Structures are given as C-alpha cells and as structure tokens.
Amino acid sequence: MKNNINTITIYCGSMFSGKTTALRKDLELFKIAGFKTAIFKHSFDKRDGDNVEKTHDGTIMPAIMVQNSEEILKHIDKVDIIGIDEVHFFDNNLGKVVKRMINMGKTVVASGLDMDFMGEPFYNTIYLMGIADNVHKMHGVCVECGGRGKYNHKFVQCSNDRLEVGAEDKYKCLCYKCIKNELEKNNKTFWE
C-alpha cells in the first residue's frame, strides 16, 4: 500500500457497477496497513441515512456527511486516506480541494458517476479522472440484454432533474443499444 500514498484514485462509470464497493475495499486495505481512513459523502444523498454509506450489496460503513467540498478539509487533520463517494453530487470546487489534500500529504480515493441519464459527463468526475494517478472505468450489466452496461437510464415517471438521488427505484443500467431503444419508445433522442 505504501506505493499508493499521496495519490488520487477514482472509480467511475455507470450505476450498479461496483464503484462504492471498490472504494470501500481500497479503504479497508489501507486500514489493514495501519492508515487512518475516513469516507465522505454529500448530505444531498440521504438514501442510507446520516453518517452511513451503503453499497448495493448491502455493506454498511460509517461516513461523514458534508454540505460541500470545502467542509471535507475540516475533518481530515488526523486522517491519512480520504474516501469521497458520489463525487458528482459535490460542487465544482471539489477538484481544487482534492489538490489541496494531496499537497497536505493525503491520499484520495473517490468514486462517482461519469455521466448523467442523458449521457452527459459530470464535471467533477472528468476533472478527477484528469488529475488522478489511477482511473478505473467500471461497467454494470445491461438489465435488458445482459450486455456491458454503461449508461444510467432514468424511468419515465421520474423527474428530468440531472441530479436525482435513487437506485433501482428510479434507474437501471443499460448498454448503448438498449438505452437508445428505450428513449426512442418515448420519442426522445440519446445524445442530441
């Protein structure tokens, strides 16, 4: 683990691809190696309750809820490894905050969606991909055809808000062919 110190790692991709699970496993390994770790999540995401992060496989871990990226800095004095989940929920200052943490000698492991439900990239994710030492692009399974799922499809009855917290209740993972077909059924075009 010592060769991963003072680095940035990001797990990005579609929903249901194992991003949070990968982040959690990395932090567990750092903890075994004797490092102090903490996971942060945006207070916008209340799916799992306060101060808890839950993976889709049901694993629960403690998390610190913050309102913005700057607030993370208030909690890291005695922390070596910082985990940041769902980076797409954070303000666009997150990249600068991560750079400050690296300058402080910290290590950052982050995860987040790379695209919204219309296939448009999230700024924070692509910014972190650009400055990261390690980028892991993750894919789910298309629930329609069983192919390689890359896109987050939001059910028609949901809002058109770009950021809407949800899981299987609002989203499903699809491949390009299946998301294109799904949108065409509703007279929508993918990547207009």
Quick one: pLDDT at residue 43?
A: 86
Q: What is the pLDDT of residue 185?
A: 82
The reply to whether 28 belongs to the active site is no
Chain-centroid distance of CA 136 in Å reads 11
Residue 88's nearest CA partner among 125, 53, 118, 39 is 125
pLDDT in tens, 140-171: 999 999 999 999 887 665 556 655 555 556 78
Query: In angstroms, rounded to a whole number, what is the distance separating the alpha carbons of residues 138 and 18?
Result: 7
Per-residue model confidence (pLDDT) at position 153? 82
Question: What's 2-139's CATH class?
Answer: alpha beta
The pLDDT tens digits of the residues spanning 98-142 come to 999 999 999 999 999 999 888 889 999 999 999 999 999 999 999
Distance CA(7)–CA(154), nearest Å, equals 34
Distance from C-alpha of 171 to C-alpha of 119, rounded to nearest angstrom = 13
Distance between CA atoms of residues 45 and 164, nearest Å:
9
Among 86, 120, 182, 192, which one carries the catalytic annotation? Answer: 86
Q: Lowest-confidence range among 3-7, 42-46, 88-92, 102-106?
A: 42-46
Give the single-character DSSP code of 67.
S
